[in-house]
Structure 1
Amino acid sequence: MIEAVRIGFDPFLGWPVLWAVVAVAALAWLAYVFLRGRAWLTRGLALTLLAAALSNPNLVHEEREPLPSVAAVILDRSESMDIGDRADAARRAYDEVQARLAEDPSLEVRVLESDPNDDGSHLYSALEGLMADVPRDRIAGAILITDGQVHDVPDNPDAEGVIGPVHGLIVGDPDRGDRRVELVEAPSFGIVGETADLIVKVEDPDGGEIDLDVSVNGGIPERVRVTAGEPTPLPIKIERRGENIVVVEAPPGRQELTMANNRTAASLAGVRDRL
């Protein structure tokens, strides 16, 4: 609680009328001085005291209760948080941060869990919605508990109106690797009976050579050996006219976060050469 004492004024006649009276009295007093009237100083003091009395001065004793600052805690529940033990670690951190902030009486803590059905991690828009009714000068900051993949971060964090400061609490093992298959380039079509090159790259923290299984239209997979980290062309035979589905799959690596990215697919349109 903040206590303060000040002098306040509450004119009997209202401020516009009081200022008009003061202006008329001042002009009359100046005319009196100009005409060499007697006791002009005493009369001036008397008019000043009268104006002060009409302003109705009073002693004001104020007691103010400061409004708490507002802090936000947002938990990322996007699909990538289900990898490994990220969700459990994030939940524990979420509960711990809330408990710690609740110990500060000068803070109002607001919490929110993002929508797990969102396409990606849109935590900043969730933060804006959570703080929409809070004046900017009351915002203490925000803590985002996530795996580090936030898709709606403002382009200019220092721009006016951007909520901040924003702190990221990143969950997951930064030293843990993951094998994944990346489709670098795929032609949109190929001539039936001929081959088209599908370029893929396998990222693996251990490097070395990796055997890929490549199948076309659900047929028997063909084993192809590639070097990790290097784009590799895979000759694909276009078997038929129309859509040809090519699936490229890598076996589990020594380090894996998820098997979902060990597989990729492409669609190549088969066309006949009529020339």
Structure 2
Amino acid sequence: MITNYGIEWAPLLPWSVVYLVIGLSLATLLGLLVLKSKGSLFRSSFIALITLFIANPTLHEKISEPLPELIIAVVDNSPSMTYDQRRRQASDALSDLHAQVNKRSDLVLKTISVSGTEEQGTNIFANINLTQEEKSRLSGVVFITDGLVHDIPASLAETDIPDEVPLHLLLAGDPQRQDRRLIIEQAPAFSIIGQTAKLTYRIVDDNADNLSLPAWVTLRQNGEKVSETQVPVGVPFTQELLLENRGLTTFDLSVEPLPDEITEINNRAIFETNGVRDRLKVLLISGEPHPGERAWRNILKADPSVDLIHFTILRHPQKQDGTPIRELSLIAFPIHELFEVKLADFDLIIFDQYQRQGFLPSHYLTNIVRYVEQGGALLEVGGPGYASPASLYNTSLGTMLPAEPLGTISETAFHPLVTELGLRHPVTASLPDANTDNIQPPTWGRWFRQVDTDTLSGWTVMTGAKAQPLLVLDHFGKGRVAQITSDHIWLWGRNVEGGGPQTELIRRLAHWLMKEPELDEEQLKASLSNNRLTVHRQSLSDTPVELTVESPSGEIFSLPLEPGSNGLAIKTIEATEPGV
């Protein structure tokens, strides 16, 4: 303790006034002394007292006491500290540090707790924020952690810690315990469907008894086991991946654990790869020339990723008009090459107002049925011929076409309406200017002809004249089938009565047929952000469901989901555990 005495001045008037009074007083006294006037000493004393009174001095005593030096303890409470006995060891170390500091009066301890996350890791240095006064008193920093720190700076100049301050590390954990980690070194961000992509990963064993033994690694694709491979430990291993569907595909890698391992959470790794198509091959067969034929061609050709093969039947085989064969410039219809040799190469087949005309033998139509059943896609756009005896429904294709013709045609004006089910289906949900319920009509233009049908299967997402099925979607085997029971969709493209979303509807329809994941009617997705797990479920059903959620530690619990009006249910929960 240090004691000092001093005088503080708090003048009653500004110092300029005080200095002026002192100057005038000194001049007056000097004149009196020169003239040897009587009473000059008394007058001098009186003026000095008045000046002292105006200056208002105060006698004070300063007592200063040195502050204790500051010790900072940074305690790691990240998820990795829950393994083994690390958290207990850290708690014991902090208690012992408190006891040591409390024995000394010249030290004080400040504790900073750091909670890391699965996504951002453990950022210890970013959590040390010191005032200028704390920096001047700081004499040491003690880190109590397991060593998994993700923001170690290049130098202390990048932190709030002064350069001359010593750093100490109390490392939690058992250095003799073995642990295995699976590290993905290179994963493909995207891959072309049908072509292989390469994945490179490495197995790291810490303190393992035998590093030469290979380990079994299991690869799962969207939850299904793809392969199980013996992989050498410690060296990069490359494995080929094959994507079959467009969109995000989730891959899950897991390696067998070591005996008595610290934790098995880092024995798994997960990543997503986006599947893209190189080229989309579409076969369009128009049964006859008609005004809407060019609309289909223009829409499909507008997409640069689409390879379109378009055939139009211009001349019926039975047509006899006397034209000499040598004057006909029509090419022969390559039915064998299209429907036998290269049928499986097409992603989508479209029959536009096609009816039996003798071009396609029945076994070629049977090939199309087999093609769809094995994962292909078929779109049938029906004109008046679909209601005739020559309808495609009366061929082998009828086994998979969901709309059965009644043999009649409605030629009345009608507004295409999205059904209640269609308001939930991604193909027709949120179409521009559509009806949002059964009362408010759409603002798009009308159509004027439709084949009368009855649906035997599938989902009717749009209706037309007399509330009959207009757009029907269905699954057949591993493939998909869609039917439009009117040939007037081209009126929307010509802006008749204001037109309608022709391009958008055909685009969605074609992508749904080719199994675009974002247009699936049944979807379940999950995303993790800021330790919160968000689940999205798209469904045509409006029945509440319960999901089964399994945490990384193996805990299983139920998660109720209430679907919304558009078929989308969203639920967010806290993700309190690290891992996959």
After TM superposition, is the score higher than 0.5?
A: yes
CA shift, 1:3, in A, is 5.2
2:242 pairs with 1:262: no
Residues 205-238 of structure 1 show CA distances to partners (whole Å, capped at 9, x for unaligned) of: 4322434112223223422111111111112232
1:111 equivalent in structure 2 = 111
Stretches (4+) displaced over 4 A = 6-10, 60-63
2:254 equivalent in structure 1 = 249
Residues 148-182 of structure 1 show CA distances to partners (whole Å, capped at 9, x for unaligned) of: 233344433157x8324232222122333321111
> Which secondary structure does the structure 1 equivalent of 2:125 belong to?
helix
Q: In the alignment, residue 184 of structure 1 is paired with which amino acid?
A: E
2:84 equivalent in structure 1 = 84
Tell me, in whole angstroms, the C-alpha distance in 2 between the residues paired with 1:237 and 1:135.
Answer: 58
1:139 equivalent in structure 2 = 138
1:231 equivalent in structure 2 = 236
2:187 pairs with 1:186: yes
- State whether residues 190 and 270 of structure 1, in contact with CA within 8 Å, keep that contact through their aligned partners in structure 2: yes
Tell me, in whole angstroms, the C-alpha distance in 2 between the residues paired with 1:152 and 1:193.
Answer: 41
Deviates more, 1:115-124 or 1:235-244: 115-124
Tell me, in whole angstroms, the C-alpha distance in 2 between the residues paired with 1:208 and 1:255.
Answer: 18
CA shift, 1:251, in A, is 0.9
CA shift, 1:100, in A, is 1.1
CA shift, 1:66, in A, is 1.8
Tell me, in whole angstroms, the C-alpha distance in 2 between the residues paired with 1:269 and 1:254.
Answer: 36
> Which secondary structure does the structure 2 equivalent of 1:99 belong to?
helix
Residues 104-127 of structure 1 show CA distances to partners (whole Å, capped at 9, x for unaligned) of: 111222223224569432333333
2:98 pairs with 1:98: yes
Tell me, in whole angstroms, the C-alpha distance in 1 between the residues paired with 2:64 and 2:190.
Answer: 74
1:2 equivalent in structure 2 = 2
2:149 equivalent in structure 1 = 150
Tell me, in whole angstroms, the C-alpha distance in 2 between the residues paired with 1:240 and 1:7.
Answer: 87
- State whether residues 141 and 163 of structure 1, in contact with CA within 8 Å, keep that contact through their aligned partners in structure 2: no
CA shift, 1:266, in A, is 2.7
2:70 equivalent in structure 1 = 70
1:176 equivalent in structure 2 = 177
Report the aligned-residue RMSD: 4.2
Tell me, in whole angstroms, the C-alpha distance in 2 between the residues paired with 1:193 and 1:9.
Answer: 89
> Which secondary structure does the structure 2 equivalent of 1:87 belong to?
helix
Identity value in percent: 29
2:298 equivalent in structure 1 = none
Tell me, in whole angstroms, the C-alpha distance in 1 between the residues paired with 2:270 and 2:117.
Answer: 24
- State whether residues 98 and 109 of structure 1, in contact with CA within 8 Å, keep that contact through their aligned partners in structure 2: yes
Tell me, in whole angstroms, the C-alpha distance in 2 between the residues paired with 1:153 and 1:265.
Answer: 26
The structure that has the greater radius of gyration is 2
2:208 pairs with 1:208: no
Tell me, in whole angstroms, the C-alpha distance in 1 between the residues paired with 2:157 and 2:189.
Answer: 43
Tell me, in whole angstroms, the C-alpha distance in 1 between the residues paired with 2:242 and 2:61.
Answer: 90
- State whether residues 147 and 170 of structure 1, in contact with CA within 8 Å, keep that contact through their aligned partners in structure 2: yes
CA shift, 1:62, in A, is 6.1
TM-score (norm 1): 0.71
Unaligned runs of 5+ in 2: 10-14, 21-51, 53-59, 282-580
Q: In the alignment, residue 175 of structure 1 is paired with which amino acid?
A: Q
CA shift, 1:65, in A, is 2.0
TM-score (norm 2): 0.38
Residues 72-124 of structure 1 show CA distances to partners (whole Å, capped at 9, x for unaligned) of: 22211112212221111001111110121011111222223224569432333
Tell me, in whole angstroms, the C-alpha distance in 1 between the residues paired with 2:246 and 2:6.
Answer: 92
- State whether residues 218 and 225 of structure 2, in contact with CA within 8 Å, keep that contact through their aligned partners in structure 1: no
Deviates more, 1:222-231 or 1:256-265: 256-265
2:451 equivalent in structure 1 = none
Deviates more, 1:60-69 or 1:239-248: 60-69
CA shift, 1:239, in A, is 2.8
